[in-house]
């Protein structure tokens, strides 16, 4: 087995590109602990499931939980985290039949997988422990039984928010006896979603207190740099961290491959998508099970098409490999997951949709087409290839993006970097006020009551003035007619989806997929080419009111790439120092034109105009103004390109230091900002209301300027390239102008 991967790695060394780094992560033997005092039936059940002894981290987690501590388990994928929470939960029910537990998973697919394992363990104990999944698909007849008799209720935060908490009077048994709350995939509770979930937990705890229970929280997280802090922000109680995994791991090789340079002065390398295709095709034809990750849904479809073409050239069937991404229908996704587990598929091309704990078995190779944008994502994607005993490998193919090239030049930044800090802001006023409303609907507030640890008297008086609450003596009661939770989505940015309808056969329109609203301007504007499962369709009509997109299957040799016009407007300044500031901004975007790009060669073969409504977002941003003296020496065009270059540089390096994903940030530049009345470069938090990135960037301003300077100095191009200041054309020396502006900062 091992020889197969070793000879494949030798083959990679024979390619023309550079191996920027090749790290070996040594195999790790298992370390075991002991079971704490458990019910004999449980020990026996574990034994018959083939689990004789717990790994050290499992034993640690179970003991601390049974001792009444909240814990967060942050160990690698496939280290057996579910044992850590299933054991204390089952133990408590064996001890006391009335004991209850609530499991929260961020998505539905996950809970199905974990359920199978839990069921098997329960069955072995021979005791009737009723476990139910409560989600949108649950039949009304089952719901009643679940409320009265369910020991373990498995759901997601959205259902807890709209389906359970507002109806707590029907769930008295659950809330009176709630012993454990399990929060799995904790790292997904970040950004605006995490801010909502923190408030849903405040509501949950408030209801528990009302019914006299005080549940223990059992959290599990993949790689983030601050699991303990994240868990404590979410539940507002002390949490103990368990991060030293005792699970065994096979040896792993991690290669960072940089495609060969074909034009040094322009800094152009061969296309990373072709290089990734080549590597995946070679691996699959060597019978190595391979997962290829890429950053966008369009790239999934392009890579899938190219890999199938590559396999066909070698006489291999194209259906050895499938695509997987958001927007495929659930049934289609489950089918692909099953085929991967059963080894019927040898390859899959995916976005980060497959990063989460979805069970696809362990593969031998992960190919990352481009740095996924964050350290944690990169480790998670690379972790998809990995066996308990055999050698596995991950190859990251650097793209021309700035961060990719920065890491290829400085791989120590990747291997030395701590993973991202998961950020959330439960005090985001918009989020907080909405959940105070929901909570007031559930139970009246006393005038001095806190919500979690937060004082909310001002929000309560505001809601009274709005006629939502009614004050009677020392209590606020709900008085509006509406049901507040229904109108509040926990995933505000992605809650609305366009439905893609195939009208190739007009008599038989078929729904083939979905696209979330923020992605629509790029992916499904009128006349766009939309790819799905390797087939191409053209958008015939986009119904923006009805959220429907009508497509027809077409044969095409091009794809489309839309350009967005972005508008940023400073609304309020919170803090200023040394030419920097941060505050509230309005970010608006709409698509203007689309380019037609030829599939095989990536040549631009035409364009068209797009008319769609502007999408607006209020958020926070950090900005800075380069010294006027340095700018005044330049003409307007040079000023504009120097500022755009600086923005591009910052976009490249900032995610590493802010410990966030590159998609969490937007950059922008203006030669004369009408509000600030001067030239400015902005780094905006890409989440409605912001999650604290703008303030963090303001605090790290010196570091960011130093990193930007290092990035531009170390770039091998002459006048600017996508890896540093962006591809602005050779006529403008953006690299030099950006460097000049940066040097004025070093003086101050
Ligand atoms: Zn460059």
Ligand 1: centre distance to CA 663 (Å) = 21
Ligand 1: centre distance to CA 400 (Å) = 10
The two tokens of residue 229 are: 């802090």
Ligand 1: centre distance to CA 746 (Å) = 20
Mean pLDDT of 15-19: 94
Hunting for tokens 């709900």 — which residue is that?
478
What is the C-alpha to C-alpha distance for residues 459 and 477, in angstroms, rounded to an integer?
A: 14
Name the average pLDDT for the chain: 87
232-241, 568-577, 613-622: least confident range: 613-622
Mean pLDDT of 474-481: 90
Ligand 1: centre distance to CA 430 (Å) = 41
What is the C-alpha to C-alpha distance for residues 136 and 201, in angstroms, rounded to an integer?
A: 20
Ligand 1: centre distance to CA 101 (Å) = 55
pLDDT tens for residues 493-536? 445 678 999 999 989 999 988 887 777 888 899 999 998 887 88
180: number of CA atoms within 13 Å, CB side?
A: 30
Length of the chain counted residue by residue? 748
Ligand 1: centre distance to CA 274 (Å) = 21
Q: Do 490 and 198 form a contact (C-beta atoms < 8 A)?
A: no
256's torsion region: left (phi>0), alpha (psi -120 to 50) or beta? beta
Q: Do 451 and 436 form a contact (C-beta atoms < 8 A)?
A: yes
How confident is the model at residue 727, as a pLDDT? 66
169-178, 232-241, 382-391, 728-737: least confident range: 728-737
54-68, 517-531, 676-690, 727-741: least confident range: 727-741
Ligand 1: centre distance to CA 414 (Å) = 20
Residue 538's pLDDT band, with cuts at 50, 70 and 90, is very high
Ligand 1: centre distance to CA 49 (Å) = 56
Ligand 1: centre distance to CA 316 (Å) = 39
How confident is the model at residue 116, as a pLDDT? 78
Mean pLDDT of 214-240: 92
- Locate the DSSP E strands across 198-354: 216-220, 240-242, 252-258, 261-263, 268-269, 290-293, 321-324, 347-350
Q: Is the pLDDT of residue 388 over 80?
A: no
How confident is the model at residue 724, as a pLDDT? 80
472: number of Cβ within 10 Å = 10
Residues 6+ apart with CB under 8 A from 329: 511, 512, 513, 514
Ligand 1: centre distance to CA 696 (Å) = 27
Ligand 1: centre distance to CA 612 (Å) = 34
Which among 86, 49, 80 has a CA at the least distance from the CA of 65?
A: 86
Ligand 1: centre distance to CA 655 (Å) = 18
Ligand 1: centre distance to CA 595 (Å) = 24
pLDDT tens for residues 611-633? 888 888 888 999 998 877 777 77
The two tokens of residue 141 are: 């007849």
Q: What is the CATH number of domain 249-416?
A: 3.40.50.300
Ligand 1: centre distance to CA 650 (Å) = 13
How confident is the model at residue 357, as a pLDDT? 64
pTM of the shown model: 0.75
Hunting for tokens 């004082």 — which residue is that?
455
How confident is the model at residue 111, as a pLDDT? 55
Mean pLDDT of 35-58: 93
Q: Is the pLDDT of residue 221 over 60?
A: yes
Ligand 1: centre distance to CA 265 (Å) = 9
Q: What percent of the chain has pLDDT over 90?
A: 48
Ligand 1: centre distance to CA 718 (Å) = 7
227-241, 362-376, 442-456: least confident range: 362-376
Ligand 1: centre distance to CA 266 (Å) = 8
Q: Is the pLDDT of residue 712 over 80?
A: yes
Alpha helical stretches, state H, 22-95: 40-48, 56-66, 81-95
Q: Is the pLDDT of residue 748 over 50?
A: no
So where are the chain's domains?
40-242, 249-416, 430-487, 557-747
Q: Do 129 and 151 form a contact (C-beta atoms < 8 A)?
A: yes
Ligand 1: centre distance to CA 406 (Å) = 10
Is-same-fold flag (40-242; 249-416)? yes
Ligand 1: centre distance to CA 740 (Å) = 15
Q: What is the CATH number of domain 40-242?
A: 3.40.50.300
- Locate the DSSP E strands across 459-505: 469-472, 475-478, 497-502
How confident is the model at residue 622, as a pLDDT? 95
Ligand 1: centre distance to CA 648 (Å) = 11
How confident is the model at residue 93, as a pLDDT? 96
How confident is the model at residue 747, as a pLDDT? 41
Ligand 1: centre distance to CA 624 (Å) = 22
Ligand 1: centre distance to CA 719 (Å) = 7
pLDDT tens for residues 731-742? 567 788 888 888
Ligand 1: centre distance to CA 20 (Å) = 17
Ligand 1: centre distance to CA 683 (Å) = 21
Ligand 1: centre distance to CA 409 (Å) = 12
Ligand 1: centre distance to CA 402 (Å) = 8
Q: Is the pLDDT of residue 110 over 80?
A: no
Ligand 1: centre distance to CA 708 (Å) = 12
Of 266 and 122, which is predicted with more confidence?
A: 122
Ligand 1: centre distance to CA 707 (Å) = 14
654: number of CA atoms within 13 Å, CB side?
A: 28
With H, G, I as helix, E, B as strand and everything else as coil, classify residue 678. Answer: strand
Ligand 1 ion: Cβ-proximal residues, 5 Å cutoff: 267, 715, 717, 721, 723-724
């Amino acid at each position: 087995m091992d020889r197969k991967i070793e000879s494949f790695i030798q083959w990679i060394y024979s390619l023309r590109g550079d191996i920027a780094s090749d790290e070996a992560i040594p195999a790790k033997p298992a370390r075991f602990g002991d079971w704490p005092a458990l019910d004999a039936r449980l020990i026996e059940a574990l034994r018959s499931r083939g689990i004789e002894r717990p790994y050290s981290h499992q034993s640690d987690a179970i003991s601390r939980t049974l001792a009444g501590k909240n814990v967060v388990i942050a160990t690698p994928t496939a280290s057996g985290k579910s044992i850590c929470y299933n054991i204390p939960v089952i133990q408590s029910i064996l001890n006391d039949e009335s004991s209850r537990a609530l499991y929260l998973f961020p998505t539905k697919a996950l809970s199905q997988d974990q359920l199978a394992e839990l069921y098997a363990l329960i069955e072995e104990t021979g005791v009737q422990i009723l476990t139910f999944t409560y989600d949108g698909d649950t039949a009304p007849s089952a719901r009643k039984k679940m409320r009265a008799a369910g020991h373990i209720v498995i759901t997601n935060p959205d259902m807890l928010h709209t389906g359970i908490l507002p109806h707590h009077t029907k769930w008295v048994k659950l809330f009176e006896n709630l012993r454990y709350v399990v929060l799995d995939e904790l790292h997904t509770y970040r950004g605006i979603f995490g801010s909502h979930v923190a408030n849903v937990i405040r509501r949950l705890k408030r209801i528990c207190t009302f019914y006299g229970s005080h549940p223990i929280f059992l959290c599990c997280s993949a790689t983030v740099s601050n699991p303990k802090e994240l868990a404590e922000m979410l539940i507002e109680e002390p949490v103990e961290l368990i991060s030293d995994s005792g699970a065994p791991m096979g040896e792993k090789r991690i290669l960072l491959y940089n495609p060969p340079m074909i034009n040094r002065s322009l800094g152009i390398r061969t296309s990373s998508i072709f290089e990734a295709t080549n590597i995946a095709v070679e691996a699959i034809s060597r019978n190595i099970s391979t997962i290829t990750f890429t950053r966008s849904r369009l790239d999934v479809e392009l890579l899938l098409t190219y890999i199938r073409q590559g396999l066909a050239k070698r006489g291999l069937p194209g259906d050895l490999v499938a695509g997987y991404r958001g927007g495929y229908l659930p049934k289609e996704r489950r089918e692909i997951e099953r085929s991967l587990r059963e080894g019927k598929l040898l390859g899959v091309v995916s976005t980060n949709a497959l990063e989460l704990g979805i069970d696809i078995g362990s593969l031998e190779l992960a190919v990352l087409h481009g740095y996924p944008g964050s350290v944690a994502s990169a480790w998670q994607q690379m972790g998809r290839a990995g066996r308990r005993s055999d050698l596995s490998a991950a190859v990251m193919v650097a793209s021309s993006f700035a961060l990719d090239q920065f890491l290829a030049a400085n791989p120590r930044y990747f291997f030395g970097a701590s993973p991202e800090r998961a950020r959330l802001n439960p005090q985001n006023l918009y989020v907080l006020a909405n959940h105070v409303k929901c909570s007031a609907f559930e139970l009246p507030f006393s005038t001095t009551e806190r919500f979690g640890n937060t004082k909310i008297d001002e929000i309560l008086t505001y809601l009274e003035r709005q006629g939502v609450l009614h004050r009677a003596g020392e209590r606020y009661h709900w008085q509006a007619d509406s049901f507040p939770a229904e109108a509040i989505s926990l995933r505000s940015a992605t809650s609305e989806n366009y439905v893609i309808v195939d009208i190739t056969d007009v008599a038989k329109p078929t729904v083939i997929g979905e696209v979330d609203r923020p992605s629509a301007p790029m992916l499904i504007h009128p006349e766009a080419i939309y790819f799905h499962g390797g087939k191409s369709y053209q958008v015939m009509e986009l119904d923006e009111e009805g959220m429907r997109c009508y497509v027809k299957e077409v044969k095409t040799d091009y794809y489309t790439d839309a350009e967005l016009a972005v508008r940023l407007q400073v609304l309020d300044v919170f803090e200023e120092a040394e030419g920097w500031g941060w505050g509230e901004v309005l970010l608006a975007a709409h698509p203007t034109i689309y380019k037609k790009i030829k599939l095989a060669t990536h040549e631009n073969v035409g364009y068209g105009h797009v008319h769609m409504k502007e999408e607006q977002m209020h958020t926070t941003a950090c900005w800075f103004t380069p010294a006027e003296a340095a700018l005044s020496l330049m003409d307007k065009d040079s000023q504009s390109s120097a500022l755009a270059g600086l923005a591009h540089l910052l976009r490249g390096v900032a995610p590493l230091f802010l410990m966030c994903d590159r998609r969490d940030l937007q950059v922008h530049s203006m030669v004369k900002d009408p509000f600030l009345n001067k030239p400015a470069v902005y780094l905006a938090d890409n989440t409605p209301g912001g999650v604290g990135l703008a303030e963090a960037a303001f605090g790290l301003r010196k570091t960011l300027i130093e990193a930007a300077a290092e990035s531009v100095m170390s770039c091998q191009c002459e006048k600017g390239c996508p890896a540093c200041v962006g591809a602005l054309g050779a006529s403008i020396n953006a690299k030099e102008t950006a460097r000049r502006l940066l040097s004025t900062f070093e003086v101050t």
